[in-house]
Every structure is written in C-alpha cells, then in structure tokens.
Structure 1
Amino acid sequence: GGCSGSFVSSEGLLVTNHHCAFDAVAAVSTAEENHLERGFYARKMSDEIPAKGLSLRITVGFEDCSERILADLPGTDRPVERQKAIKERMTSLEKTAAAKDSNSTFEVSEMFPGKSYVLFQYTVLRDLRIVYAPSRAIGEFGGESDNWVWPRHTGDYTFLRAYTGPKGEARTYHTENIPFKPIAYLPIAQKPLAENDFVMIMGYPGRTFRHYPASYLRYQAEKLLPITQKNFDWLIQRLEKQGELSTGESLLWSSRIKSLANTSKNYRGKLQGLRRVPILAQFESVDKACRQAGQANALIAMNALDSLYQAMHQRAELHLNFQHLAGQSKAMQCMIREADLKDRLIAWKNNPSKDSLLEAETKALNVWKEKNRGSWRGSLERDVLQYFVSQNPELLPQDFQLGKWNAWLDQMEQSNDFPKESKWTKALGNYWHNLSLRIKQEQSDWTARLSANLPAYLDLRLQVLNQSFVPDANSTLRLTYGKVQGFFPEDGVYHRPFTTLNGMFEKASTGHPDYRIDSTLYRAIRQGFPAVTPTPEQPNQEQRFGDLAINMVDAARDQTQTVKKPRTKSEDIPVAFLYNLDTTGGNSGSPVMNADGELVGVNFDRAFGATINDFAWNADYSRSIGVDIRFVLWNLKNVIGDQRLLSELFPLGLPEHLQR
C-alpha cells in the first residue's frame, strides 16, 4: 500500500517498485524458498502467486462536492462542532454514492482543509499476484547506503498482475479468477531517453505541507523530524540485532526495518534541506506580508493557527514517543486493548446485547493475540519499553514504583507470551489507555482548529502572493511534468542524469555489502562467465535465476583474483535516470512517461536534497529518480531469459535498440 503503479498490458499486468511489493514478497518467503533474497519469476500464468496484503485502487471518476460539505456549517468559533459536521457529511456522501453503485468505492478527499472537497470514485481490485520480482541484489542494490542518494544503480521494479472474477467483478483470490482487462494501458517507449527530454508522471503522492504557516514548519524542524529520526534510528539498530539471530528473524523484521530506515533517512534529508535552503525564512516572509495585508478575521485565524502549533510544539515529545512506542510494543498494544474492552463493558452495562457484544470483542482480542503471538519477543519488548520510558517519563504514571517496573521488565525478558494480567498490569494498561484517549482527543481538537482557521489563511495567502496554487498532496491522482535533468548537489560537483551498469560494478569493487552483484546478472553481462563454486550459503550456483550471487567482497579480498571488466559494454546499459519532477512519498511506482505517453521508467526515489519537496519544490535540488525501462527489459531478456513477459509487452517483437 501507499504506492502507485501502471498497467502495461491488456492482461492486467502492472509494474510498480520492488520496495512497494517488498512486504508481499517477504510474506511468501521462507528460509527454503527465499523469494525476497533470490527473487521470483512465474514462468507461466498459473505460477503467479498471491501478493498478500496488496490491493489496487483505480480512479474512475470524481466530482467537486465542496458546496454540499460546507453549506450552513457551525461557525469557526465552534471548531469541534464544525469539524464533526464536516466528517458526518463526508461519510453521508460516500454512503449515498455507494448505495447507487455497489461495484465502486467512494471517498471524499479534503483538498484544502475546511475549504475544498472532492468525491472520488474508485474500482478496488483485491486479487493481485506476483509475476516477477528481481532478486534483492538487483531490486535493492545499494541498500540503505544509496537510499535517497544519486548516483543510483537500483533495479527497483516488480511486475504484478490484477485478477477479477470470470465476469470482471472484483473479488479476492480464487483459482477461477481471470486477468483484469484495463480500459487502457501504457505502451513501452521505443525511443531512447536523452538529457532535457520532456517527461511526466501520474501517481498518488501522499502528503505535502506547502500552504501552512511558518509555525507549522518550525514544529516540523524542531520537534517532529529530529525526534522521529532519533527514535527510528534506535529501533533500526535494535531490530537489526534481532534479525542477526537467524534467517527467520531476519525475514520477520526486514519489512519493518526497511520502513523505519526509509523514514529516518528522509527526515535527515529534510533537516539538511531546511538548513541549506531558506524555506523557513520564505514561509516567515509570506506570513509577515499576510499580517500586514490581512483583515481582522484573517488575523484572528493566523493567531489561532500559531496558538495551535505552539500547543503541538509543547506536547510533541509525549505524543511522538507514545506513538512510536505503541507502534512497536506488542505488550503496550495488548494492555491498551484489554483496558479498552473493560471500558466498553462498563458502557454496555444496560445494553441488552452486552453478552453477545462481550463475546464478539473477546474473540476479536484473542484473534489479535494469536495473529501477533508469532512476533512476540520478550527481550525486544523489554528493550523497547525501557528505551521509550527513558525518553519521556510521562509514559509511566507519576506514582509508579520504578522497582516494580524494572522487575516486570526483567520478567518480560524471559517470557514467550503476552503479559499475564495482574492488579499492577491493569493499572498500567488503564494509564496507557487513558493516555491514548487524551492524545487522540488533543489531536482531534487540533484538526478541528486547523480546519476552521486555515481557509481564511489560505484566502489571505492567495491575495498576498497574487497567484493560484494546487492543493497539497493527499493520496489522490496528480500529474507532474518536467524534463530529464542533472544537478549540482554541491559546489564544483555535477551529477549527470543517467547511470549505467558500469557504475554498478564500480560500486561492487569497493567490497561494501550493500553493493553485491546478482550472480546471474554478472554472468549475463560477462557472456559466459564461469559459474562460481557452490557454498553452503549459495548451494545452487548453476540455477539460472534467483541465487544470491557473487559477493564482490570476496573477490576484492582475494589477492590472486580481480574483478574482471565485463566483455559487454556495461556503460551502454542504462540503469537509472534523474528528472526535475515534483514528487513525494506515494509516487513510488509511478510511471515515468515521455511526451507521447509511453513508459520510459518507473519512479522510485528522490535525491537527498529533494526530500524538502514536502515543503517546497526547489529548482536546484528537487530531483526524482526512476529505474530506466531499458534496464528492466535488459533483465527480462538477459538475466532471467524471459520470453513470456517480453511477448506480452511487445507482441510485435522487441525494439532494435533494446536488443543488446
């Protein structure tokens, strides 16, 4: 979830990023069949395997519904009531639309908070299957060393296929399902890309914050970004330690580590960008002009927004540490759920259906425990709880006895199941549950105040800047366009907009573990490079596809062996490219198209300096990164020896310039 993709055939074949399908591939991987590490390719359609946890949402229509949402609302001096009315109307519109068309899903999206709303119509497909995911050495080449970095040599692509029922109806996995028939699909470009070529992207960018007051940006820079980065870095280190215990543990935590690492490095880039580019000063300048030009009602709104962000600033450490702890600790999640169930039981005291309600909720709690029991690790729980409480003592009641707390942590370290309920754990669970409710209420109040006051600020901002602007990203379909373009990341350094396989070998020769080469790719480019001697870690080196490959560390260490330059001109094989398009999180997997609407690549990342895109696009630093479709096709032809997908993508035959 949270990614984009595009159809590339009439048979429901779609391409997205390797990292977008990462969790789904990990879910079907085992120590014996490690598709995550070795890759997966279905030789025939019946071999395609379910992409667990993934669904596909296709935009089929939309209409502005702002008037219906905003008519006769409570005044801005009653923000909570106003926001409640907005939410109720949004839900009502969605239900009314769904009642008229049960085959579609409807969602009202807030384009400008408290100001503009659009009703979107979607087709949702829930049977997605993995067709081809490259080995991790291709799909994640460079690892965290290269994440958010250029130059890049990552084959970050995966092919999936969408399926429906025999009559085209959306339904979950079934052996009788057939490939989805899209209304249209993207043809593959047959003309090579060049620097300064026009390119465009359509996708579903997640969130940006470009039309907010300077006080919000200050909250991000001083609280949200640094606290989150620090906590996530600690969690990554601890989970990596857990993953070192076995292959099974590594698979269990790999997706979580990848997600945390991606966010951490993104936030580090944002902080660097905010220091390098005067974005905060620009926001402050706009706010100053707004205050000078504003009428009384607009100034009241600006003061209310400043007060709101001051409150967020003051409560940030508690809110963020609680959220990060609750996101990781199974013990906390379980104890909050148990406390919540007891609260519900009290509320149901006079409800004639209380017994059946209790039975259903108890069953749901037990199902949750069973689902999460497999990932319970007592020593990990102990370390996580201890770390976050050390970051913010408010996570424990003021009168809590630290001796009992530490003894409980020591006991948990040896446990292999959720904490047993006791008077002491009930008290702690109640505290955490009430704290959770307080935090949710505060955040709900903040959202209401934002929705009530932001419209007046936006109107004033429009007046002062004397220009229109598009709504912030909110996971709805957007278009961005620009050109293939390099950039100067620092004084005297220019980054060209294309990389090739030659650079992959250059990185591999450093011996860094993030730069291992897939052995099948290596043999393909060397045109008959002899198979490597099998090892316990790589028992089947002769396998045409899927081994972990030649580790260039060993080659570099061996004084009698050097990494031979491939016979094929690796500098002729493009891997990735840069462009100055305006992207953010959620654009991962977006199709990069040329002026003719043909697929030239798949968007997967931004350069480190472009992480500031969430706050402002910058002509000097805003560069996005895509995998070149020519590299994808080269892998299909030469690494896995594919004909099935190539025939599906090119029914008339492979273009000459791709036949290398």
Structure 2
Amino acid sequence: MNKKTLLFTFLLIFGILQSGYTPPDEGMFPLSEIHKLDLKKAGLKIDQNEIYNPNGTSLVDALVNVGGCTGSFVSNEGLIITNHHCAFGAVQQASTPEKDYLTKGLVARSYGEEIEAKGLTCRITESYEDVSDRILGPVAQITDPATRLQLVNHAMKNIAAEAEQKDPSIKAEVSEMFIGKTYVLFRYKTILDVRLVYVPNRQVGEFGGETDNWVWPRHTGDFSFMRAYVGKDGKPAKYSKDNVPYTPKKFLKVNASGTEEEDFVFILGYPGRTFRHRPAGFIENQQQFVLPYTSELYDFQNATMEKAGKKNKETEIKLATRIKRNANVMKNYRGKLQGLKGIDLIGQKKQEDAALAEFINNNVEEKAKYGTLMNDIDNLYKLINGDAQRDLWLGQIYSSTSLLSVSRTINNFKEALNAQSPANKQPFFDQNIPQVKQALSSTYASFDIDVDRTVFKKMMNDAAAFSPYQKINAVAKVTSKGNNSQSVIDQYINNTFGISKLKDQDYVINTLLKSLKALSAYNDGLMLFEKDLQQQIAAIKPEKDAREGQLNKLMGDYVRVKEKFLKKDFIPDANSTLRLTYGYVRGYSPADATYMKPYTTIKGILEKGASGHADFGYPETIKTLWTAKDFGPFAKKDLNDVPVSFLYNMDTTGGNSGSPIMNAKGELIGVNFDRAYGATINDYSWNESYSRSIGVDIRFVLWVATKIDKADFLVKEMGVKL
C-alpha cells in the first residue's frame, strides 16, 4: 500500500471515529430497514429519502429485476444497463451460426435494429407491506407441521391474489423474509417486452472466461444494454413492433468520473438467497451433501456438453448457456466448500448452538417455550441428511436429462386431459396446447441427444449405487432385470433412446401434439420411467411436507430466541427482494504477505492476453488504442490507464449481478458482477476481511462503447458528454 493510500485510509478511519459511525458487520437491508441506518455518517451526500421514498420518486424506481439479475434504467427511453452474463441466454437464443451475436456482439443503432430478448421480462417493485400477522395469526395454535405449512402457503397465495384482484395491473408475491417469522407482500409491475440493444464482443464481456470466474484481479467487461417496451397506451404488452420504449419514473445519472479508493458506494439490487441465520445442521447438509454433489455433477455435465459442442457451431451455441450456468455454479460451490472448511463454519455454528442451548436451559421462561428446540432441530436434520442422496438426485434428474423433462411435460398434460370430462377434453387440449408447445420448445432449445444419453447413464449408475433406504424406484425396476447393473443400464438406455420418438422435436411438436387422438395413443419407455419417478415423488411428498412444516416452525423459533440471546435484531436473509448494501471501494489481503489493489486496468488485459490462453483473447483494437494511449476522458489519472474492474466491501450475492453501483450522490459509477473467490462463502457468513465484490467500472463501459464499438449514440442517450 502506498503512502497516499495509507494516509487516505487513516483519514477515513479517523473521520469515522470522529463521527461516531460504526460500519455494520454485514447488510443486505430490506427497504423497510434502511430508515434505521445513518448513511450520512457513512458517507452519503444526498438525502436518504432520495434512495427510497414510499411517498414519491426515488432511486429505487430506477431498479428492475431482469431474468433473475438486477438492472437499472439509465435513460428516459427505457434503456437498461445490466451484466453481459445476464443477457447471455437471450443472446444465445438470438444467435445462429450465420448471425453469431454470442461471439461477435451486437450494436443496434436504431429501435428497429433492437432484437427481442426471448425469455426475459422486467419486474419493477411498486410497493411492499408487512403481512406477517395475517399469515401467522391463524396458525398460532396449529401443532401439526404439515397442516401449519399448508395453511401458511395458502394464506400467502390468497393475500397475493387479493392484491392482484384489487389492482390487476400488478403482479403480487408474498415473500418469507425470516423463515416461519416474517412475511412481506410485494407488488410488482412486469414489463413483458425486453429487447437487446448493445452487447459487447464476447472477448470483452466474458474476458477471462471460467479461468477468471470468481477471481480477483479481474478484467471483464461484464455489461450489456437492453430496452424495455410497452404498448402505445403505456401498459405492459407482449412483444410487438408497434410497442414503444417505456418511460420509467426514474433513471440513474451516469458519472463518467468513476471512483477513488475508499470512496463511499452503495448498491440497490435483488440478491438471491443467503442462509446466515441457520443452525449447524443446515451447514453440515450443505458441506457434506449439496455442495459436493452438485459441483461434481455439473463438472461431468459440462465435460460432456463441451465434447458435444465440438460437433458443429450450431450445437456449440445451443449448449452455451447451460455450460455457462453450470460452470458458474460449480466454481461457486467449490469456493464455498473451500471457505466453509477454511473457517470451520460447522465448528463455529456448533459452538453458537451450544451457547444458545445453554441460554435456553438457564432461563426458566425460555426453557418453557424452547426447551426442546435444539434437540428437535438436530433430529430433523438427521432425517434430512439421511435422505440427502435420493433427494438431490430427484432434484437434478429433470434438468440433467432433457428428454425426461419433455416426458414430464407430456405426461402432466396427458394427466390433466384425462381429468377432464369427455366433452371438455378437446376444448382443454385446444386451449392449452400452445403453452405446452412453448415449454417443450424451450427444453429442446438446449437438447443434444449425445449429452442426454451420457448424463442419463451417469445418473442411472449413481442411483444404482445408493443404499436400499435411499433407492430410486424407477432405477431399481430397471436394474432388477439382471445381475450386472451397469450392463443392464447400458442396454436399457440403448433400447429406450433408440425407440423413443421424443428425441425428434419436429415429430413431437408437429405430429404428436397435432391432435388429441395422437397424444392419447402415444407412450414410450422414457415416459413410463418418468411416471415411476413421479409416483415416488408423490409418495414421499407427505413426509417432505411434514419436515418442511416442522422446519418452518423451528427456524422461526430459532431466530426469535437467538435474537433475545444476542440482544440484537437480525437482518433478514436475502430472498430475491429489493435490498440496499453499502461500503467502500477497498482492496484486501486474501493471504499472508499479499495485498490486492482495488482497481485493474487495460494493461492487465494485455498482460493476461500475452499468456496465449484461450480465455484471455481480446479484440486487437484494445491493444492498438492502449498503445496509443487513446483513453479519451475515461482514464484514471493516478493509474494513467482506464480502470476495468474494481473491488468494494459491500455485501452481495447471486441476484446482485447487474446491480448499479452508485456513489455518494446516487450516480452510477459501475455495475456489480461477481465476488472474489473467498467471498463465495458470503451466502453463509460475511466478513469484512475476505468479503469483496467485483464490478465493472463505468469508465471502461464508456471507453469500450465509444472507442471499440462506436456506440456513441447510447452514451449520449445516457447524458454523458464526450
């Protein structure tokens, strides 16, 4: 660390001490909690109401949830900035070997050139309301766990339906903020027509590939632009050439000057799931079963898909999104495993749980309420872990084998048809067949027969090795036909895949689903296998519902008594609802004798590119411009270079991808896209010493847009003066 940085850090710390401000240990704050924060002392230079104002327009109104990621409006013409990887699936669907937007990128220079982002919608948070009493009041005296959970879920659906009935223009959801304890009704506006506007070359948007994923230092231009469209009446409408750009209530101002080290920054976004308020049993389940099983399975799937992708460009494009998603989860889970073991979180949780048990037992009132709580939790997780292999297998089989997903869709539709009266079967068929075809087409979009065969074989062999207590009945039925399970499975797959017509998309869509008669008459081995799976899933559902209901009640009690024990209110775990997190642009020391600076530059792109590794290829224009020191107004003076990515100590997780990073004035200065490898453990435990998130610097976004892709028109639309 240089003298300037040391001095700046000292002054910052001194200022914090003088102001009396104490930074939080962690924080993905719901909108309902941000009034408890003193962001002015932390460094905010605008009024706190300008972030969220339930009685007026605020920065929150510029936020959107797009395809499971976060995005933000950056113009009054519905322009949205988010991550390259958030647009990846839509770009893949729009790409062909002839028009390979996935590799070459896309710059739409007019509204007419913008491309439909298939499968993507924009969801905007309109308002929220705590409905905990309405949900928990009626079940206060219910002791049966399954019945309690059923009533809770029923109440959540009814409250959402009631809200939608009052205002048909919104989509309502009740989210469980604390399991078994707190419930909030969110009202959303959903924009159905989203279009791709500007996606950089893949060598920019995915620079570093999986080699650099979850790694710092990072040099990835992980950004893209979309646009939201509505009908001419201003209301959400499905894709149509007659639609017009959406005018948001609020859009973010872009500050092309970026940040300096130790600047105050904050993020608004839709973080996915965290699990910080769970006991040791949950962490054991994650470390021993969920994380290793899933990461190993995805590793195998990706090796299989990458091999298949070498057949031709069409297959490579078709499988690209599945490979990217798998690889992201796989590396994330392996990082979590390393982190869990590194800090011995199971050991820490056991100590915490033991201290909590002692608190309960030493307090007469708490013992009367919660005396069996910790034993009940331990016993429940023993049951959950005892079935972990079976449940994980059943949870992955449909996403692993496309033709089983196809079989499930067809079987479910046939079952729904059979439930109709004879007179109603044809009308029911006619009404629902478009949705069935759409669902199947989505599955076939990433289907490859060789991948399905290979992965299904692995899944079958894995299940055949399970103990009798965790057996998969459909697999056991197959392996019971011979002494050598592997050869029986091989023969079964060859015969079943050979005969099945489900591998022919054209036949399924245009012949099998052409008429009620054709559908009713068709069956094959894969559909019969899938029926056996469904029967077992249905058979174990009552027991799983009972466990989930019991867990719901126990976790609510666990949080209540732990808050009493620690004498503090917890921040609810992330659950894909809108949250705020804040912190500072800051480096860190991930290992002894190392310090990671908070900024990377274009120079680093060239250095990595010199290795010759395929993941570090970059457009030659970058080197030409850098050599000429053609940085425009986007260079950071002390670096004499354009900053590419930067670090900050904010609390983020999955779903925060694409979140706008804002400065003390609420101006956009970057786009969040990742965490450092050690911070993958954030989902279970956050710590300032190792928890660092990564964003693409707005200066690099603007430099690439103007210098590489000549998209000056978009920069001007955002109000940035060149």
What is the TM-score with the length of structure 1 in the denominator? 0.88
Who is 1:316 aligned against? 388
Q: Secondary structure at the match of 1:495?
A: coil
Who is 1:418 aligned against? 502
Report the CA distance between 1:100 and its aligned residue.
1.5
Instruction: Please list the CA deviations of residues 588-634 of structure 1 after superposition, one character each: whole Å capped at 9, or x if unmatched.
Output: 00000111101110000000000011011111110000000000011
1:499 aligned to which of 597, 600, 603:
600
Who is 2:462 aligned against? 391
Q: Is the 2:406–2:443 contact (alpha carbons within 8 Å) kept by the matching residues of 1?
A: no
Who is 1:26 aligned against? 92
| Inter-partner Cα distance in structure 2 for 1:136 and 1:416 | 37
| Inter-partner Cα distance in structure 1 for 2:577 and 2:524 | 48
Report the CA distance between 1:360 and its aligned residue.
6.1
| Inter-partner Cα distance in structure 2 for 1:426 and 1:179 | 44
1:14 aligned to which of 76, 80, 94:
80
Q: Secondary structure at the match of 1:20?
A: helix
Q: Does 1:435 align with 2:536?
A: yes
| Inter-partner Cα distance in structure 2 for 1:474 and 1:371 | 26
| Inter-partner Cα distance in structure 2 for 1:173 and 1:426 | 34
Report the CA distance between 1:426 and its aligned residue.
5.9
Who is 2:160 aligned against? 94
Who is 1:214 aligned against? 280
Who is 1:379 aligned against? 450
| Inter-partner Cα distance in structure 2 for 1:625 and 1:457 | 33
Q: Is the 2:449–2:503 contact (alpha carbons within 8 Å) kept by the matching residues of 1?
A: no
Q: Does 1:400 align with 2:400?
A: no
| Inter-partner Cα distance in structure 1 for 2:212 and 2:694 | 12
Determine what percentage of the aligned residue pairs are the same residue. Answer: 39
Q: Does 1:409 align with 2:470?
A: no
Q: Is the 2:398–2:404 contact (alpha carbons within 8 Å) kept by the matching residues of 1?
A: yes
Q: Is the 1:305–1:449 contact (alpha carbons within 8 Å) kept by the matching residues of 2?
A: no
1:302 aligned to which of 349, 361, 374:
374
Q: Is the 1:29–1:35 contact (alpha carbons within 8 Å) kept by the matching residues of 2?
A: yes
Q: Secondary structure at the match of 1:456?
A: helix
Report the CA distance between 1:35 and its aligned residue.
0.6
Q: Please, which moves more after superposition, 497-506 or 171-180?
A: 171-180
1:457 aligned to which of 553, 558, 567:
558
Q: Is the 2:173–2:186 contact (alpha carbons within 8 Å) kept by the matching residues of 1?
A: yes
Q: Is the 2:146–2:547 contact (alpha carbons within 8 Å) kept by the matching residues of 1?
A: no
Gaps of 5+ in 2: 1-66, 361-366, 465-470, 505-521, 631-636
Gaps of 5+ in 1: 530-567, 655-660
2:254 aligned to which of 179, 188, 207:
188
Who is 2:583 aligned against? 482
- One-letter amino acid of the structure 1 residue matched with residue 582 of structure 2: Y
| Inter-partner Cα distance in structure 2 for 1:356 and 1:112 | 43
Alignment RMSD (CA, Å): 2.5
Q: Secondary structure at the match of 1:572?
A: coil
Q: Secondary structure at the match of 1:27?
A: helix
Q: Is the 1:204–1:587 contact (alpha carbons within 8 Å) kept by the matching residues of 2?
A: yes
Q: Is the 2:298–2:330 contact (alpha carbons within 8 Å) kept by the matching residues of 1?
A: yes
Structure 1 residues 367 and 628, CA, compared in 2 at 3 Å: closer, same or farther?
A: closer
Q: Is the 2:106–2:198 contact (alpha carbons within 8 Å) kept by the matching residues of 1?
A: yes
Q: Is the 1:326–1:332 contact (alpha carbons within 8 Å) kept by the matching residues of 2?
A: yes
2:683 aligned to which of 614, 624, 637:
614
Q: What is the correspondence of 1:509-528 to structure 2 with a 5 Å cutoff?
A: 509-527=610-628
Q: Please, which moves more after superposition, 275-284 or 82-91?
A: 275-284
Structure 1 residues 46 and 87, CA, compared in 2 at 3 Å: closer, same or farther?
A: same
Q: Secondary structure at the match of 1:163?
A: strand
Who is 2:132 aligned against? 66
Structure 1 residues 318 and 357, CA, compared in 2 at 3 Å: closer, same or farther?
A: same
Instruction: Please list the CA deviations of residues 223-246 of structure 1 after superposition, one character each: whole Å capped at 9, or x if unmatched.
Output: 100111111110011011111111
Q: Please, which moves more after superposition, 628-637 or 325-334?
A: 325-334
Q: Is the 2:258–2:697 contact (alpha carbons within 8 Å) kept by the matching residues of 1?
A: no
Instruction: Please list the CA deviations of residues 79-117 of structure 1 after superposition, one character each: whole Å capped at 9, or x if unmatched.
Output: 111111111111111111111111111111111122111
Structure 1 residues 69 and 371, CA, compared in 2 at 3 Å: closer, same or farther?
A: closer
1:115 aligned to which of 177, 181, 184:
181
Q: Is the 2:500–2:525 contact (alpha carbons within 8 Å) kept by the matching residues of 1?
A: no
Q: Secondary structure at the match of 2:671?
A: strand
Instruction: Please list the CA deviations of residues 509-557 of structure 1 after superposition, one character each: whole Å capped at 9, or x if unmatched.
Output: 001000001133333334599xxxxxxxxxxxxxxxxxxxxxxxxxxxx
| Inter-partner Cα distance in structure 1 for 2:555 and 2:408 | 34
Instruction: Please list the CA deviations of residues 395-444 of structure 1 after superposition, one character each: whole Å capped at 9, or x if unmatched.
Output: 30256325654223224565784279668656533322212324554443
Report the CA distance between 1:638 and its aligned residue.
0.8
Count of residue pairs the alignment pairs up? 614
What is the TM-score with the length of structure 2 in the denominator? 0.81
Who is 2:703 aligned against? 634
Structure 1 residues 644 and 480, CA, compared in 2 at 3 Å: closer, same or farther?
A: same
Q: Secondary structure at the match of 2:333?
A: helix
Who is 1:228 aligned against? 294
Structure 1 residues 367 and 24, CA, compared in 2 at 3 Å: closer, same or farther?
A: closer
2:609 aligned to which of 508, 514, 533:
508
| Inter-partner Cα distance in structure 2 for 1:637 and 1:129 | 21
| Inter-partner Cα distance in structure 2 for 1:174 and 1:216 | 47
Report the CA distance between 1:381 and its aligned residue.
2.1
Q: Is the 2:649–2:691 contact (alpha carbons within 8 Å) kept by the matching residues of 1?
A: yes
Q: Does 1:647 align with 2:704?
A: no
| Inter-partner Cα distance in structure 2 for 1:177 and 1:239 | 38
- One-letter amino acid of the structure 1 residue matched with residue 476 of structure 2: P
Q: Secondary structure at the match of 2:176?
A: strand
Q: Secondary structure at the match of 2:84?
A: coil
Q: Secondary structure at the match of 1:626?
A: strand
Q: Which has the higher helix share?
A: 2
Report the CA distance between 1:469 and its aligned residue.
1.1
Q: Is the 2:197–2:227 contact (alpha carbons within 8 Å) kept by the matching residues of 1?
A: yes
Instruction: Please list the CA deviations of residues 444-484 of structure 1 after superposition, one character each: whole Å capped at 9, or x if unmatched.
Output: 33321121221111111101111111110000000000101
Q: Is the 2:400–2:456 contact (alpha carbons within 8 Å) kept by the matching residues of 1?
A: no
Q: Is the 1:165–1:176 contact (alpha carbons within 8 Å) kept by the matching residues of 2?
A: yes
Report the CA distance between 1:371 and its aligned residue.
5.4
Q: Secondary structure at the match of 2:232?
A: coil
Who is 2:209 aligned against? 143
- One-letter amino acid of the structure 2 residue matched with residue 511 of structure 1: G
Q: Does 1:592 align with 2:651?
A: no
- One-letter amino acid of the structure 2 residue matched with residue 93 of structure 1: I
Who is 2:123 aligned against? 57
Q: Is the 1:128–1:160 contact (alpha carbons within 8 Å) kept by the matching residues of 2?
A: yes
Q: Secondary structure at the match of 1:21?
A: helix
Q: Secondary structure at the match of 1:210?
A: coil
Q: What is the correspondence of 1:564-579 to structure 2 with a 5 Å cutoff?
A: 572-579=641-648
Structure 1 residues 637 and 325, CA, compared in 2 at 3 Å: closer, same or farther?
A: same
Structure 1 residues 365 and 4, CA, compared in 2 at 3 Å: closer, same or farther?
A: closer
| Inter-partner Cα distance in structure 2 for 1:589 and 1:48 | 20
Report the CA distance between 1:375 and its aligned residue.
4.8
Q: Does 1:325 align with 2:388?
A: no
Q: Secondary structure at the match of 1:587?
A: coil
Q: Is the 1:379–1:412 contact (alpha carbons within 8 Å) kept by the matching residues of 2?
A: no
Report the CA distance between 1:21 and its aligned residue.
0.4
Q: Secondary structure at the match of 2:398?
A: helix
Instruction: Please list the CA deviations of residues 549-572 of structure 1 after superposition, one character each: whole Å capped at 9, or x if unmatched.
Output: xxxxxxxxxxxxxxxxxxx99951
| Inter-partner Cα distance in structure 1 for 2:645 and 2:378 | 43
